[in-house]
Amino acid sequence: MANDELTGHSPAKPQSGRTVLDPHFDPHLDRYAARTAGMTASEIRALFAVASRPEVVSLAGGMPNLAALPLDTLSTQVAQIIAEDGLTALQYASAHGLPPLREQICDVMALEGITAHPDDVVVTVGSQMGLDLVTRLFCDPGDVVVAEGPSYVGALGSFASYQAQVVHVAMDEHGLVPEALRAALRQARITGRRVKFLYTIPNFHNPAGVTLAVERRAEILEICRTYDVLVVEDNPYGLLGFDGQTYPALHSLDPDNVVYLGSFSKTFASGLRVGWVLAPPAVREKLVLATESATLCPPTLNQLIVSRYLATHDWQSQIKTFQQNYRERRDAMLSALEQYLPPGCTWTKPDGGFYVWVTVPEGVDTKAMLPRAVSAQVAYASGTGFYTDGSGSRQMRLSYCYPTPERIREGVRRLAAVLHSELELARAFGDRFGRIQLPSR
């Protein structure tokens, strides 16, 4: 199986002290909850393994490029936190998050027009945990979540693990299409399906690379109000516009009906796992309770590190540096795509964030092609992982966030060679050998 090849993940081996006759036999199979059936291996795990092979140019992962971080300063600061405040830093704290950090988070959100009270901020173990807990609070099995198509793979994983059904809504180069949203909500109402929230990434979308036009924002919110649907706004990339531009957060336009997810993973350090949720008071109180069940509290040291960094470092200049780094990489990718990709390929032109979304000509299946691309020493994320309805077989996500511009150009060059050869085979043989799958729709 392709995933196993990519992860180098070997099947279960006999463990010391016990004999396993059939490594695929699971004696606990009858015991799992119904939701567990929906937990299937995401591509995230595969991508990390691929990215770690030095000979492969990975355009697959979403790892931020941290090289510009001031490690020496951070090292000194963290040492001070432990030496001077270690008994606090290494001790449990509240599930809600440290008050000074929650105040600073309000300052960060103000850059995108949000006026918030620190009481309404809940610190989470990355915004992934925020998303997971929001889904826990709102979704019964069978409830519908409306999301862009394509959508963030980690969100789809959370929705699946609470047995929520995803209805995808189309995007164009200006983001989510209001009429398509209205039609989806109308259809759900007609068929008696309960939509719990719209999950949306308005800025520099993962994986689509597009941004929701400002003039669409009020309309999207109005549609959700009309259909009595909550909005969950996921905004990890909002401060990574390549010209320093920002857009008004959906939360700033309708604070009582928007739950906002924020993250320091892309603007500071992903490995600290510090994110947050901004939610109306009643929801926020339930989120704190859910956090207590999930982890008791987010790590205290990590919160102090982020708080100290925000207090003492010119973090806005640091974000400008990140913007420049990512813009340079975006430019390298777009020019390489222009130069190398075969005719018939199209792609989005992101103004910020990490990703380009590529559509390949008919006759190429991006999931089937992936093992051959890896053999040619380039990796990407095939489009099917970003949908729950089987779409995406002619799409792929290319990340320009992590490799150097030179490596990005080389990766695209390799990818183009694989695409050329796939197209040649498709033209010559069609799908007669099962190697090239024609799209089913």
21, 31, 192, 390: which one contacts a copy of itself (CB under 8 A)? Answer: 31
Candidate segments 215-223, 252-260, 379-387, 427-435, binder of a copy of itself by CB under 8 A = 252-260
67 is a site residue for a copy of itself (CB under 8 A)? yes
Which token pair is 28?
């606990």
User: In this chain, which of 101, 145, 181, 230 binds a copy of itself, going by CB under 8 A?
Assistant: 230
- The residues in 182-201 that bind a copy of itself, with binding defined as CB under 8 A, are 196-197
CA atoms within 13 A on the CB side of 256: 3
Determine the 3-state secondary structure of 50 from DSSP: helix
HSE (side-chain half, CA atoms, 13 Å) at 231: 29
Please tell me whether residue 123 binds a copy of itself under the rule CB under 8 A: no
Task: Find the binding residues for a copy of itself in span 260-299 (CB under 8 A).
Answer: 265, 269-273, 280-283, 286, 288-290, 292-299
Q: From the CB of 353, what's the least distance to a copy of itself, in Å?
A: 16
CA distances for 324 relative to 235, 299, 327, 382, angstroms: 19, 31, 5, 27
Residue span binding a copy of itself (CB under 8 A) among the ranges 156-164, 215-223, 366-374, 412-420? 156-164
Contact pattern for a copy of itself over residues 81 through 110, marking x by CB under 8 A: -xx--xxxxxxxxxx---------------
125 or 147, CB closer to a copy of itself? 125
Question: Does 256 participate in binding a copy of itself (rule CB under 8 A)?
Answer: yes
Q: Does 27 bind a copy of itself (CB under 8 A)?
A: yes
Instruction: For a copy of itself, give the closer residue by CB, 76 or 346.
Output: 76
Taking the C-alpha atoms of residue 308 and residue 313, their distance in angstroms, rounded to an integer, is: 8
Neighbours of 97 (CB within 10 A): 25
**Shortest Cβ 48–a copy of itself spacing (Å):** 6
**Binding residue for a copy of itself (CB under 8 A) from 2, 66, 214, 438?**
66
End-to-end, the C-alpha distance of the chain in Å comes to: 25
Is residue 208 within 8 A of residue 357, CB to CB? The reply is yes
Task: Give the type of residue at 231.
Answer: V
| 58 lies in the binding site for a copy of itself (CB under 8 A) | no
Can you tell me the distance from the alpha carbon of 148 to that of 208, in angstroms, rounded to the nearest whole number?
9
Distance between CA 282 and CA 275 in Å, rounded?
Answer: 20
Query: In angstroms, what is the minimal distance from the CB of 381 to a copy of itself?
Result: 14
What lies within 8 Å, CB to CB, of 23 at 6+ separation is 11, 12, 13, 14
* Cβ–Cβ under 8 Å, residues 394 and 383: yes
# chain residues binding a copy of itself, by CB under 8 A = 105
Q: Which of 344, 329, 351 is nearest to 411 (CA)?
A: 329
Nearer to a copy of itself, 209 or 255 (CB): 255
Residues 338 to 367: which contact a copy of itself by CB under 8 A? none
Half-sphere exposure of 210 (CA within 13 A, CB side): 21
Q: How far is the CB of 428 from a copy of itself (least distance, A)?
A: 40
Of 203, 302, 382, 388, the one binding a copy of itself (CB under 8 A) is 302
